[in-house]
Structure 1
Amino acid sequence: MSENNKQKAVLSVTEDIRAKILDGTYPEGMALSQVDIASSYQVSRTPVREALQILAGEELVEIRDTGRATVTTISPESFLEKCELRALIEVKLLELSIPLMGVEDIEKAREINEKLKKCAPEEWTPLNYRFHEILYKPANRPLMQNVIKDLHHRHYARLKSFILSHRNTPRSLREHDELIDRCERQDIEGACYALESHIMMSAYSLAEQLKSQQLKRRQTPSL
């Protein structure tokens, strides 16, 4: 296999395994056999090994000393830490954005929040991300925005169904309305406090529910 073809194989295998982990096709704890994957994609084990290394760098796969690869389990502690990171960055983005917000930014945020009130469950996650993205866009901090996008893509995507089933929708929508109102009034301190509470109160609740779910799973005997 030429170097070009090998890199294409690595990219293809990486993207497909990543997608299957994110959508739950490959659940947490699942063993990923290099032999089976190589056979499935009709490639050698070399591009498979490189693909798994890439995914390990993204914290989607764990590779043990033995070389055995498994889909990582999202710990409640890891989830909470990423929410804390998200809160730190997003609060700063909002602080920078508010003085630069125009009427059109507020109107767009209200429009997205109205869509959230009527949307189908599967539409919630992208619309919710879009709502927050609109509030931070005036800050013009693309690197910080990319960090937030990366957190959503790598970690929240894996918990999409869990978050949807445990989300307190009425509270989230009320908090969105409050955020918009405070931004419109140029209340930077109040808006930043509201945003931090919006992110972290939900995070604490979800982390506890995730911990409970995983504990029940461990206590349930295998058939």
Structure 2
Amino acid sequence: MKGTAGKIPSPRSLTELVTERLRGDIVDGVFAFGENVSEDRLAAAYGVSRTPVRDALSALQFQGLVEVRPKRGSFVFDPTADDIAELCAYREMLEREAIRMSVAGSRGALCDQLDGIVARMEAELARKDFQAYAHSDTDFHRAFFAFCGNRLVTSAFDMAEARIATVRTALTSPYVERRDASFFEHCQIVDNLRQGDIDTALALLADHIDRTRVVAVARVS
């Protein structure tokens, strides 16, 4: 066959689009912790029928972003201090191992990608686009898994990533001083990875996540 070969990508289903939209709205704080997100309300807001909304809520329940309570409705997850502590411990464990695996085979590529994200974060801070900065913060930590070469480790992180991002947006991003300190910590992590000082980078990562935990727990206590 002559010409350009390749499969034509299938159009995304309405359920996928609604799931992505609702996930983004929860992560970005459009819906607050514990807020009721009824099928009727979401269907009206998104201009769709209840069926894709119901399927989206089911998918996000699996990710831990939504709690479906029988005869009461669907609600955005509402973490306790213990929930946040567990989430941060889980995150630190997975990110630490993902970094070790990534630097073993793709340290240069990882650092190049992290450098690009840090540059983007700096520009977003300068123009005070804090929502974009929060998204880039998520991209920074996600990059560890892009190069780890282990789908199971990546899948384990996928299960908690949205909750991690939501906690960051809702509970830590509003603090300007924490945001500035966080940016400096990201820079330090990349610098040490670039220099091959993995132990220091991992220690910085642990401190970085623990400071996030302290701020977040203080907000819900």
Fold agreement, TM-score > 0.5: yes
SS at match of 2:75: strand
The letter of the residue matching 1:198 is: H
Correspondence for 2:97: 92
2:200 to 179, 190, 207: 190
Q: How does 1:1-223 map to 2 (within 5 A)?
A: 17-33=22-38, 43=49, 52-119=57-124, 120-157=129-166, 159-166=168-175, 168-208=178-218, 210-212=219-221
**1:204/1:43 CA distance change after superposition, 3 Å:** same
Q: Normalized against structure 1, the TM-score is what?
A: 0.69
The letter of the residue matching 1:122 is: Q
CA contact (8 A) 2:95 2:144 kept: no
Q: Identity over the aligned pairs, expressed in percent?
A: 21
SS at match of 1:139: coil
SS at match of 1:69: strand
Answer with 47-56 or 78-87: which moved more: 47-56
C-alpha displacement at 1:159, in angstroms? 4.9
**1:36/1:143 CA distance change after superposition, 3 Å:** same
CA contact (8 A) 2:185 2:204 kept: yes
Q: Normalized against structure 2, the TM-score is what?
A: 0.70
- The whole-number CA distance in structure 1 between the counterparts of 2:48 and 2:143 is 43
The letter of the residue matching 2:210 is: M
Answer with 51-60 or 75-84: which moved more: 51-60
C-alpha displacement at 1:194, in angstroms? 1.9
Greater C-alpha radius of gyration: 1
Give the alignment's Cα RMSD to 1 decimal.
Answer: 3.4
**Higher share in helix:** 1
CA contact (8 A) 2:42 2:53 kept: yes
Give the number of equivalent residue pairs. 203
Gaps of at least 5 residues in structure 2 are: 1-12
